Amino acid sequence: DIQMTQSPSSLSASVGDRVTITCRASQSINSYLNWYQQKPGKAPELLIYAVSSLQSGVPSRFSGSGSGTDFTLTISSLQPEDFATYYCQQSYSNPLFGQGTRLDIK
Partner 1 sequence: QVQLQPSGPELVKPSQTLSLTCAISGDSVSSNIGAWIWIRQSPSRGLEWLGRTYYRSKWYNEYAISVKSRITINPDTSKNQFSLQLKSVTPEDTAVYFCGREGLAAAVDVWGQGALVTVSS
Residue 44 in the binding site for partner 1 (CB under 8 A)? yes
Residue 37 in the binding site for partner 1 (CB under 8 A)? no
Enumerate the H helices of 1-106 as residue ranges.
none
Residue 100 in the binding site for partner 1 (CB under 8 A)? yes
Non-local (6+) Cβ contacts of 62 within 8 A are 35, 47, 48, 54, 73, 74, 75, 76
Residue 60 in the binding site for partner 1 (CB under 8 A)? no
Spatial separation of the C-alpha atoms in residues 84 and 103, rounded to whole Å: 5
Residue 5 in the binding site for partner 1 (CB under 8 A)? no
Give min distance, CB of 31 to partner 1, in A.
7
Residue 49 in the binding site for partner 1 (CB under 8 A)? yes
**Do residues 45 and 35 make contact, with C-beta atoms less than 8 angstroms apart?**
no
Q: Which is nearer to partner 1, 23 or 78 (CB)?
A: 23
Name 21's bridge partners: 73
Give min distance, CB of 6 to partner 1, in A.
10
User: Among 43, 80, 81, 106, which residue sits at the site for partner 1 (rule: CB under 8 A)?
Assistant: 43
